[in-house]
Structure 1
């Protein structure tokens, strides 16, 4: 899981310039073989870049070799 967390540090929110892990957007990570689950909690309920962030997370996880990728959005922080 640490490999996943470190990879997600490379996903940058274009509005803040910060990575998703340090922003607290990444909530949960689970892995098993080629399967990975990540839950994200956007910083606002109407985050305009949610689709961008989900796609960036999926692409980063594909780069780690995961074949089955689940990304779930939780309720926003604020």
Structure 2
């Protein structure tokens, strides 16, 4: 994956919002990995702040739709990487402030 394509994907992932927090998934530290696949696809690995997230399917569909609309992307695979844990240290300061405006202290 070229650097330009990764930048486009990151910009696109900032458009995917965790509806509970009102913060994009990249700034929330929920994106664990982004990789190109051999079949012109993109793999996005997620970690979740909570198990059983009711918005998971919604966010995964949004990722597939938005990343899949990028030039050169033929398919998108999104999976939760259960072997990794979400960690508060990966949240950006902007995300913390936005979450606080929604009543969350993280």
Q: In the TM superposition, what is the alpha-carbon distance from 1:11 to its structure 2 partner?
A: 0.5
Q: Distance in 2 between matches of 1:2 and 1:31?
A: 13
Following superposition of structure 1 onto structure 2, how do residues 1-78 of structure 1 map, counting pairs within 5 Å? 1-32=6-37, 34-65=40-71, 66-75=73-82, 77=86
Alpha-carbon contact 1:45-1:77 (below 8 Å) kept: no
Structure 1, unaligned runs of 5 or more: none
Q: Distance in 1 between matches of 2:24 and 2:15?
A: 6
- Considering only CA atoms, is the larger Rg found in Structure 1 or Structure 2? 2
Q: Distance in 1 between matches of 2:80 and 2:36?
A: 17
TM-score (norm 1): 0.88
Structure 2, unaligned runs of 5 or more: 1-5, 88-106
Q: Distance in 2 between matches of 1:68 and 1:62?
A: 6
* Structure 1 segments of 4+ aligned residues over 6 angstroms from their partners: none
Q: Distance in 2 between matches of 1:45 and 1:3?
A: 29
